[in-house]
C-alpha cells in the first residue's frame, strides 16, 4: 500500500497486489476502511429513471445471510443507502452493490470521510458483482471497496486499486436525502 498526500489535502491510497507464485491466480483487491463507533455510512443510489423511459436494471444489490433489511440501522432511500453503526447492536449486518457513482462516505461528529474510486464497467467483480460493501457490528463499521477480478500471471504479475480519501468538516447532515444531497454537492 502506498499512501501519498496531495497539496489539496486529499490522500491517495494505492493498493498493489502481486502474484509471487509460479502459477496464475485470480483475485480482486479488497480495501477496508474500519470506521469508529457511532457514525453513519452513506452510499449513493443510481439515478432514478421512470419505468416509461428505461427498463433495464440499475445495479446488483447483494445481501449476506445474516443481513436483515428491516434492521433499524439501515435506511433504504431513493437516492442513498445509509447504515448506522450502533455500539449496542447484537447482530452484524452486511450489504454490497455495484456502485458506478464511485464514492462512499462515513459521517461522524460533524466530519465526513469520503472515499472515491473507479468502477470498471467492463470488470467482473466478486460477491455477485460488488465493488462497494458495508459491514457493521457492535464494534465498527467497514466501508469496503473492491477492484474487479483479475487473473495475475505468475512470477510478479500485479494489479492495483486506487482510492482517494478526503475529510470534510460539515454542518449537520441529517438522514434526510435532501440534506445529504446538499452536502455532497459541495464536496464531490
Is 49 part of any domain? no
Domain harbouring 68, CATH code: 2.70.98.10
C-alpha–C-alpha distance, residues 48 and 17, integer Å = 36
pLDDT for residue 121 is more than 90: no
What confidence score (pLDDT) does residue 122 get? 87
pLDDT of residue 11 exceeding 90, the answer is yes
List pLDDT tens digits, range 49-108: 999 999 999 999 999 999 999 999 999 999 999 999 999 999 999 999 999 999 999 999
**Share in percent of the chain as helix, strand, coil (round to 5):** 5, 45, 50
Over residues 130-152, mean pLDDT: 98
26 in a structural domain = yes
Q: Per the domain annotation, does 104 fall within a domain?
A: yes
- How many whole angstroms separate alpha carbon 3 and alpha carbon 96? 25
Residue 114 is assigned to a structural domain of this protein: yes
Domain-embedded: residue 175: yes
Q: Which residue has the cell 483479475?
A: 150
For residue 128 the three cell numbers come to: 455477485
**DSSP letter assigned to residue 110:** T
- Which phi and psi angles does 17 have, rounded to 5°? -115, 130
The total domain count for the chain is 1
Q: Which domain holds residue 177?
A: 2-44+59-185
Do residues 97 and 89 make contact, with C-beta atoms less than 8 angstroms apart?
A: no
Cβ partners under 8 Å of residue 125, min gap 6: 28, 98, 131, 146, 147, 148, 149
Interval 22-56: pLDDT, tens: 999 999 999 999 999 999 999 999 999 999 999 99
Does residue 133 fall inside a structural domain? yes
Q: Kindly state whether residue 95 falls inside one of the protein's structural domains.
A: yes
Quote the pTM value: 0.94
Q: Does the residue 89 lie in any domain? A: yes
What does the pLDDT read at residue 171? Answer: 85
* Residue that is written with C-alpha cell 446488483 in the block: 60
Name the average pLDDT for the chain: 96
Cβ–Cβ under 8 Å, residues 174 and 66: no
Amino acid at each position: 500500500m502506498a499512501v501519498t498526500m496531495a497539496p489539496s489535502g486529499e490522500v491517495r491510497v494505492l493498493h498493489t497486489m502481486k502474484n509471487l507464485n509460479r502459477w496464475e491466480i485470480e483475485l480482486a483487491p479488497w480495501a477496508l476502511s474500519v470506521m469508529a463507533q457511532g457514525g453513519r455510512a452513506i452510499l449513493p443510489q443510481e439515478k432514478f429513471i421512470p419505468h416509461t423511459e428505461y427498463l433495464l436494471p440499475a445495479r446488483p444489490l447483494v445481501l449476506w445471510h445474516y443481513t436483515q433489511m428491516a434492521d433499524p440501522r439501515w435506511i433504504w432511500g431513493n437516492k442513498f443507502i445509509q447504515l448506522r453503526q450502533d455500539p449496542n447492536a447484537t447482530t452484524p449486518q452486511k450489504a454490497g452493490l455495484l456502485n458506478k457513482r464511485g464514492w462512499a462516505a462515513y459521517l461522524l461528529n460533524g466530519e465526513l470521510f469520503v472515499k472515491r474510486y473507479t468502477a470498471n464497467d467492463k470488470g467482473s467483480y466478486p460477491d455477485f458483482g460488488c465493488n462497494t460493501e458495508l459491514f457493521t457490528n457492535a464494534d465498527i463499521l467497514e466501508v469496503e471497496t473492491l477492484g474487479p477480478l483479475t487473473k495475475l500471471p505468475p512470477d510478479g504479475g500485479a494489479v492495483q486499486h486506487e482510492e482517494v480519501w478526503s475529510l470534510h468538516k460539515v454542518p449537520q447532515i441529517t438522514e434526510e436525502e435532501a440534506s445529504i444531497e446538499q452536502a455532497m454537492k459541495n464536496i464531490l
